Amino acid sequence: MNEMEAPTRSSSSSQGIQSLEIAFSILKCFKEAKAPLSVSELSKRLEMPKNKIHKYLVSFIRVGALIQNKKDSTYAMGPALIELGLVALQQYDVAKIAKPHIREFSKQINHSVALAIWSEEGPMIAEYERSDKPIQVEIQAGYRFPLLMTALGKCFAAFLPSAQVRPLVQREIDNYQLDEQTVNQELQTIREERVSFRNTPFAGIPGSMSVASPIFDYTGNMVAALCLIGFAGEIDISPTSDDVLKLKEKASQITKQLT
């Protein structure tokens, strides 16, 4: 199964939330109809009582997933769904576009290379290509990691909107007892240099050394980060080293494809 695909119902043995599945089936009706729908039309398509459907519609309107035309009592997809769809498309596109770059890049420099995207729970590995070295760093797609203790995480902390990441940043400052001024200075340097580093081991984080660079979309927003991951002595993380310059160049190439 592709790492970016969700498991189908038949492939999952876990008990789900029926109301969520019903809600999704209602939204699918709008996708298939490609037009506004009334409660009566939804009731026919879903073979579901109107009063039950109406409760879902009220909630969808409250969160912006649907909008209502009060003149003809029809409903259509709202701005929240459009925004979610655009984000999902951007994340899918960057992983799809970056995958061949990651494979080529890993072979070229013989380092393990990772691509991370942002999820609701923070940064997450979307693609990973191992090097050919005898001792490997093992990371699975879907792996999540801290913001301030990893090179990838620092990229997101530096370039994503403050309102989006600041609560997580502050939580890690408190949890890891970090100096807030030092953290802010490092994030500013990352913004200026477009590269972040980790050169010490940290519990639970694969490898002891990593360097990352951001990837942007056509709007200028950061959508992913590209990273070299390895052990001490393998990667030269000095700012002007070949490893760092090639990483930044590769991240820029992927950005150009997205813009």
pLDDT in tens, 236-257: 888 899 999 999 999 999 999 8
**Could you tell me the residue range of the domain that residue 42 belongs to?**
16-77
Residue pair 202/150 in contact (Cβ under 8 Å)? The answer is yes
Match 């879902």 to its residue by tokens: 56
pLDDT recorded at residue 5: 38
Could you tell me if 72 and 102 lie in one domain?
A: no
Question: Alpha-carbon distance 66 to 62, whole Å?
Answer: 8
Residue 215 in any domain: the answer is yes
Could you tell me if 169 and 208 lie in one domain?
A: yes
Residue 44 in any domain: the answer is yes
Could you tell me if 115 and 241 lie in one domain?
A: yes
Helix boundaries (H) for 34-128? 39-46, 50-63, 79-109
Could you tell me if 246 and 195 lie in one domain?
A: yes
Question: Alpha-carbon distance 45 to 49, whole Å?
Answer: 11
Query: Taking Cα atoms as reference points, which of 155, 152, 94, 91 lies closest to residue 120?
Result: 91
Residue 130 in any domain: the answer is yes
Residue 11 in any domain: the answer is no
Which pair of tokens denotes residue 105?
A: 């890049």
pLDDT recorded at residue 138: 80
CATH number at residue 48: 1.10.10.10
Residue 164 in any domain: the answer is yes
pLDDT along the chain (259 residues), means of 10: 38 68 92 90 94 94 92 90 72 82 92 90 88 81 89 96 92 95 97 93 76 92 93 86 95 91
CATH number at residue 117: 3.30.450.40
Could you tell me if 121 and 167 lie in one domain?
A: yes
pLDDT recorded at residue 52: 94
pLDDT recorded at residue 92: 63
Number of domains observed in the structure of the chain: 2
Which of 43, 59, 77 is the C-terminal boundary of a domain? 77
Which pair of tokens denotes residue 120?
A: 């609701």
Could you tell me if 176 and 123 lie in one domain?
A: yes
